[in-house]
Copies of this chain bind each other. A is one copy, B any other.
């Protein structure tokens, strides 16, 4: 960490003192920024953007040029791993991600193998190296992956789903097949995140976007167990520094104790959890990341500031809090309102930290 000009994010993840609460924003490099849309247009398509390290570097840095954020996050897609497995990721206009070859029969499932990350996902690790050089030690870079269960949702449904009918039918009828998919996917995610760490990411986050759609028992067996395996398989130190891990199950507020117990450094919270209550439950063992309702950003700056103040007050005094939204920023957000959020976090959070 010695070479970082701003290490508040990494310190907060390890519950070490910081002078203020660090902040970054899920999907901070994204469609709410006109400069992102301009780059995407030049790239021709979303995948053209995500698979080209030059473009990925450019858009990763865009929000940092606008806002004094305390971390950068690798610009990439959540579905790179299944794409590397050969499922054929594509984006139908206005429909979100889809797979050309979703997992629809036992033969296809049994043929699934862990991809050679070094070749199939080289465009990601190249982007990581290039972004690290471009950042030049200003703030740390976060790497990420989807969770095995979340990836399996797309791999089996073939795209987004309102009710996850296909994967859940498999879960209840053929749990053996789903476990096979999750096993291969978890191995792949471990290799993928470790490759990102080797290339230079300084923290990793696992997005379990759909784990919260499961029953409590199914969450334990089909999502959390694989999150735990991933955490156990991660490179813990690189380049002399600890690489902290953040696990975020959207809709997982009921299971915070279980998530905190898998060995991650921090737990992401969606906006339905009271962060003070979450701290009382698990704050002794992990840092917390979150959790302002992203829709707060549609209100005027004064209202945004008031809501930021409530989240900070709820967490209370001391370290271990990384400020963020409780979910990705909406594409319809006014960037000036994001500026108001970042400023409010920095201004108001000094009162909760002891000068060091």
List residues of chain A with CB under 8 Å of any chain B CB: 163-165, 168-169, 172-173, 212-219, 251, 253-254, 271-274, 277, 293-296, 298-300, 303-304, 307, 310, 314, 326, 330, 332
Is the Cβ of B217 less than 8 Å from the Cβ of A310? yes
Residues of the B chain whose Cβ atoms lie less than 8 Å from the Cβ of A326: 215
Is the Cβ of B172 less than 8 Å from the Cβ of A215? no
Is the Cβ of A169 less than 8 Å from the Cβ of B298? yes
Is the Cβ of B251 less than 8 Å from the Cβ of A298? no
Dominant SS among interface residues on chain A:
helix
Is the Cβ of B303 less than 8 Å from the Cβ of A172? yes
Please tell me which one of the listed residues B163, B218, B307 contacts residue A330 in the complex, with CB atoms under 8 A apart: B163
Is the Cβ of B215 less than 8 Å from the Cβ of A299? no
Please tell me which one of the listed residues B165, B212, B300, B330 contacts residue A295 in the complex, with CB atoms under 8 A apart: B165
Is the Cβ of A272 less than 8 Å from the Cβ of B214? yes
Residues of the B chain whose Cβ atoms lie less than 8 Å from the Cβ of A254: 253-254, 272-274, 277
Is the Cβ of B299 less than 8 Å from the Cβ of A169? yes
Is the Cβ of B251 less than 8 Å from the Cβ of A272? yes
Rank and list the top 7 A-B pairs by shortest CB-CB distance, nearest first: A172-B299, A216-B274, A168-B295, A169-B298, A172-B303, A173-B299, A253-B254
Is the Cβ of A295 less than 8 Å from the Cβ of B332? no
Q: Which residue of B lies closest to A310 (CB)?
A: B217
Is the Cβ of B173 less than 8 Å from the Cβ of A271? no
Residues of the B chain whose Cβ atoms lie less than 8 Å from the Cβ of A307: 172
